[in-house]
Amino acid sequence: MRTQPDHIVGQLHSALKSGQFPSRQKAHGTEILSHLSEAVRVVVLGRPGSGKTSLINMILGGEIIQPVSGVNVIEVMYGKVPHVTLELLDGTTQTISSQDLESLPSGTARRATYEVPLESLKTRAFIEVNQPNDPSIQLALLDTALQEGQVFIWCSEAFDHAEQDIWQTVPETIKDHSFLALTKADRQIMKGDLSQRIAALETAVANEFLGLHPVATLHALKSRLGGAIQNELWDASGGHELVEAVQAQVRKGRAADLDQARLLLAQFGNTTESVSAKDASAMAPENVPAEEVVTAQADLLQQLQTHLQTAAQEMLVDIDNGKLPNADGLLTRCASTVRAMTTMLAAETDQNEDTTDLLEDARDGEETLMLLQVEQSPSATDDAIILMLQLRKEIGARAQA
């Protein structure tokens, strides 16, 4: 049974404080501890008027924040007493109530931070980052967004070529945790061009985001006001699907941080906890005809081969486009690919010995890749690629057997 997250955080904090880690691993452990101790930061960015504030309010389920004239960065986080802290242009700060924001002169502050006693903000904080037309300000704000965020949502009505040009400068490691929200989708539905817009964007966003989500933001927010959710409107607005996708990414990131914390503790910390992959496998239904079992196994192996092949092709496309992945990015993509493969096997495998063995191999591979991420040795990227090639070769051999 896995140690509870709070216990892991406590163990990691104690191990870092006692000086058990070498300098490189200490820096990595400190970063992991920071991730686990704080709310996951979801950055919502886009051009002026793209619906960023409404989207954050939609996710939080109420009119929590409002646009602040002349302020390009607005954060909302948990706080016991509701208030807003302004970072003024001269570097000083000022605390006011949210009601006083309406009378704030434009251009007074560069950042506004809401603290709100909302339970969901204990695990997820939101940062709205504007992308104005001035290229110099735009790039500086984009850099702020990339440094502060862990999950990203780009808001847009159309995601035009100018926005695509901005997004293409974003590192691949960020894109692996990002979503495109087509806001104000109700307007496009009324115009009758939402389907065409989505179809036109499919190629452009295929390798740029985890998913494209059309959202009728105001309808989605309306469905959540007043306490009880209007489920039919919530689902139809597209808001529910986007929130679930973001929350799944938050959980995935938190699980990855916990796994790396366990590995650090197992390797350098004073802990007896063993590191293992998720203990989950699906039981095969009884009395299933043998030919159906064989077909299901063949389909699963084909699906796994396709999964690995797609990941490899995405990396090759990046290289062909001149985007050479850095070591951290490549290790992260390899680890994510094998983790997804393990999940697929754990969810679908039966008690067939070959498939069970493959699941164990995938779990071993997942742990090896996490260890490579922790150690950051000079040969880590080569070892990761070799491991993926071995897995693909093994799956191919089983498929042909």
The pTM of this model reads: 0.67
With beta carbons less than 8 A apart as the criterion, state whether 298 and 352 touch: no
CATH architecture of 281-400: Up-down Bundle (1.20)
**What are the tens digits of pLDDT across the range 165-191?**
999 999 988 998 999 999 988 877 777
Report the pLDDT value the prediction gives residue 166, as an integer from 0 to 100.
92
Report the pLDDT value the prediction gives residue 202, as an integer from 0 to 100.
85
Report the pLDDT value the prediction gives residue 316, as an integer from 0 to 100.
56
Report the pLDDT value the prediction gives residue 294, as an integer from 0 to 100.
46
Residues of the chain with pLDDT under 70: 1-4, 269-330, 340, 343-355, 374-376, 378, 398-401
CA dist 254 and 32 (Å) reads 10
Three-state SS string over the chain comes to CCCCHHHHHHHHHHHHHCCCCCHHHHHHHHHHHHHHHCCEEEEEEECCCCCHHHHHHHHHCCCCCCCCCCCCEEEEEECCCCEEEEEECCCCEEEECHHHHHHCCCCCEEEEEEEECCHHHHCEEEEEEECCCCHHHHHHHHHHHHHHCCEEEEEECCCCHHHHHHHCCCCHHHHCCEEEEEECHHHHHHHCCHHHHHHHHHHHHCCCCCEEEEECHHHHHHHHCCCCCCHHHHHHCCHHHHHHHHHHHHHHHHHHHHHHHHHHHHHCCCCCCCCCCCCCCCCCCCCCCHHHHHHHHHHHHHHHHHHHHHHHHHHHHHHHCCCCCCHHHHHHHHHHHHHHHHHHHHHHCCCCHHHHHHHHHHHHHHHHHHHHHHHCCCCHHHHHHHHHHHHHHHHHHHHHC
Report the pLDDT value the prediction gives residue 3, as an integer from 0 to 100.
45
Report the pLDDT value the prediction gives residue 114, as an integer from 0 to 100.
96
Domain assignments of the chain as residue spans, ordered by start: 40-237, 281-400
Fold of 40-237: Rossmann fold (3.40.50)
**What are the tens digits of pLDDT across the range 6-51?**
788 888 888 888 887 887 788 888 888 888 888 999 999 999 999 9
